Structure 1
Amino acid sequence: MSDRKLISSGGPWEDRIGYSRAVVQGDWAFVSGTTSTESDDVAEQADAALAIIAAALEEGGFSMADVVRVRYLLPDASEFEACWPTLRRWFGDVMPAATMQQCDLLDPAMRIEIEATAFKG
């Protein structure tokens, strides 16, 4: 059985709730829903969240090119299109399977949450 590696980004929610930013198990990496409130702009929040995801993947020995599945969660689905250029910049060559879902997020300042799954084998 493969070793399990837990990755933390040091964000406040990880300790409060009790989860890892990412879990690497064998050829798979599972990155938890990731947000950013550094900006009020939804596309800038998406970019910051993807940078956090990229750092977690890198720590686990993966890259954004290994992402096979991504999920976008937004409180307001009408804001998703504003994120498309950012998402295309990160995933335009990768083309992972993707889903966008409208739902409430933990903090009203959060305009997008992104979750990713990566595989290399």
Structure 2
Amino acid sequence: MELIRTNYSSGAPLEEKSGYSRMVKVGPFIYIGGTTAVQPDGTVYGEESAYEQTKYILEKLVKLLEKAGSKKEEVIRVKGYATDMKYAPEVAKAYSEIFHDIKPLFTVIGTPMLNRPTQLIELELDAIIGSKIE
């Protein structure tokens, strides 16, 4: 069985410079790499709030899924990296607002830092088109 691979870019200059895709779709499988709350103008949304950053990132990820023909109900895993585990409740609150009834796998890992000091959280997401909740 041959699976077609499609690479997607968010348009961030670093993607082309470094040689990576924001999202890769292989057949029905979708993988979205580390995504932060950087806005199109280059500023970080919600600099002081892990909740606001998480909500912004999740909305961004759902839009990317839709671009690949998927939807939030098909998400099977979300992985987060927080610069301080004290942000975990804020991250969980924003996550729950989007995924509470869908219940994908969810992990938050502490990391000493992200690309910019104002980035508090980075998220990755995996989905399978056509997957249904029992």
Shorter-chain-normalised TM-score: which range?
over 0.9
* Identity score, percent: 30
Answer yes or no: is 1:76 the counterpart of 2:84. yes
Task: Name the SS of the counterpart of 1:95 in structure 2.
Answer: coil
Q: How far did 1:12 drift?
A: 3.4
Task: Name the SS of the counterpart of 2:107 in structure 1.
Answer: strand
Answer yes or no: is 1:51 the counterpart of 2:52. no
Whose helix proportion is higher, 1 or 2? 1
Task: Name the SS of the counterpart of 2:32 in structure 1.
Answer: strand
Tell me: CA distance 1:87–1:66, structure 2 relative to 1, closer, same or farther (3 Å).
same
Answer yes or no: is 1:112 the counterpart of 2:121. yes
Alignment deviations for residues 58-101 of structure 1 (CA, whole Å, 9 cap, x no partner): 11111111110110100101111122221101111110011110
Question: Residue 19 of structure 1 corresponds to which residue in structure 2?
Answer: 20
Aligned partners of 2:82, 2:34: CA distance in 1, in Å? Answer: 11
Aligned partners of 2:122, 2:13: CA distance in 1, in Å? Answer: 15
RMSD: 1.2
Aligned partners of 1:12, 1:81: CA distance in 2, in Å? Answer: 32
Question: Residue 104 of structure 2 corresponds to which residue in structure 1?
Answer: 96
Question: Residue 62 of structure 1 corresponds to which residue in structure 2?
Answer: 70
> Pairwise mapping of residues 5-16 of structure 1 onto structure 2 (< 5 A)?
5-16=6-17
| Contact 1:8-1:56 within 8 A present in 2 as well | no
TM-score (norm 2): 0.84
Write the letter of the residue equivalent to 2:14.
Answer: W
TM-score (norm 1): 0.93
Give the aligned length: 121
Unaligned runs of at least 5 residues, structure 1: none
Aligned partners of 1:23, 1:7: CA distance in 2, in Å? Answer: 6
